[in-house]
Amino acid sequence: MGFTAAESLSEQIADYIREKIIRFELKPNENIREATLARELQVSRSPIREALKLLERQRLVEQTPRKGTKVTGISEDYIDSLYDVTIVLIILAARLCTERSTPEDLKTIDGTVSKASEAVAEKDVDAYYTAFFEFALSCLKAARNPILEEMIMDLLPCIRRMQFLTFFLRSDQLEENLEVVVRGNNHLQNGNKEMAVNTVIEYISKEKEVALKTLQEGKILQHVNAGTPSG
């Protein structure tokens, strides 16, 4: 039996704060007060400081000397930077996944797409969000490149935050999103690397376009002020 280290208190706190940021329960540019969190979680401020350092490395918070910590804002530059890097990494993941996936991998990936289809049929946005990332992570595992996986996982919290926002803002258009996912999965199942990559490019380019349009039309602010459904 192997040894597995328990998650530290600071990591548990980071998980808690991370989900609040991803789900917009903590808003872009909102100040995070250590004392308030310490009272809420009934812990000292030391593990909270460590948790915030972890989240800063994931680009979810920004810490400024003598000014404290705030949730990272969402700007055009932020969206450009995130999606421009993401598309390069995901293209490589799609290529490697198509080349290296085993029949068992393909079965697992196909199962996540079935879950996504069921969620859309039931108009369950939160379930679709969960199934979508199960699909993405299953493909990433099948690519079998530890360094690539580490790089994408480093960006994943920021990607999840943007996808959470755009999925819920387009809750009545999930069929369109699913159609691209299904098409990409079909290319993957058939071993068509070029078409799988082209579908990834189409998907991420569209998501970037939606995110920028959402920002330009002020929908992010409207959405934050209205509150985000948690599923």
Domain count, the chain: 2
Residue at 135 is within a domain: yes
Question: What is the number of residues in the chain?
Answer: 231
Say if residue 56 is in the same domain as residue 150. no
Say if residue 47 is in the same domain as residue 88. no
Residue at 3 is within a domain: no
pLDDT tens-digit series, residues 181-223: 999 999 999 999 999 999 999 999 999 999 999 888 887 655 5
* For residue 8, pLDDT beyond 70: yes
Q: What is the dihedral of CA 11, 73, 62, 38, to 10 degrees?
A: -50
Q: Examine the fold and report which residue of 51, 71, 91 is the final residue of a domain before the chain moves on.
A: 71
Residue at 199 is within a domain: yes
Q: Which residue has the tokens 């996808």?
A: 163
Q: What is the pTM of this model?
A: 0.89
pLDDT at 230 (0 to 100) = 42
pLDDT at 66 (0 to 100) = 85
- Asked if residues 129 and 163 have their Cβ atoms less than 8 Å apart, the reply is yes
Q: What is the CATH number of the domain that holds 99?
A: 1.20.120.530
Q: What is the CATH number of the domain that holds 53?
A: 1.10.10.10
Longest distance between any two alpha carbons in the chain, whole Å: 56
Say if residue 112 is in the same domain as residue 165. yes
Say if residue 58 is in the same domain as residue 110. no
**Distance (Å, whole) CA 124 – CA 119:** 5
Distances 83 to 87, 105, 118, 203, 224 between C-alpha atoms, Å: 6, 26, 28, 11, 21
Q: Examine the fold and report which residue of 31, 48, 71 is the final residue of a domain before the chain moves on.
A: 71
**Distance (Å, whole) CA 90 – CA 94:** 6
Say if residue 183 is in the same domain as residue 107. yes
Full domain range(s) for residue 66: 9-71
Instruction: Give the lowest-confidence range in 8-12, 151-155, 223-227.
Output: 223-227
Residue at 138 is within a domain: yes
Q: Which residue has the tokens 């192997």?
A: 2
Residue at 153 is within a domain: yes
Instruction: Give the residue from 72, 34, 37 showing the smallest Cα distance to 55.
Output: 72
**Distance (Å, whole) CA 204 – CA 124:** 22
CB atoms within 10 A of CB 56: 14
Say if residue 43 is in the same domain as residue 139. no
pLDDT at 7 (0 to 100) = 76
Residue at 156 is within a domain: yes
Residue at 231 is within a domain: no
pLDDT tens-digit series, residues 126-135: 999 999 999 9
Q: Which residue has the tokens 């990559």?
A: 197
DSSP reduced 3-state for 144 = coil
Residue at 1 is within a domain: no
Say if residue 41 is in the same domain as residue 89. no
Q: Examine the fold and report which residue of 71, 91, 112 is the final residue of a domain before the chain moves on.
A: 71
* For residue 37, pLDDT beyond 90: yes
Say if residue 82 is in the same domain as residue 33. no
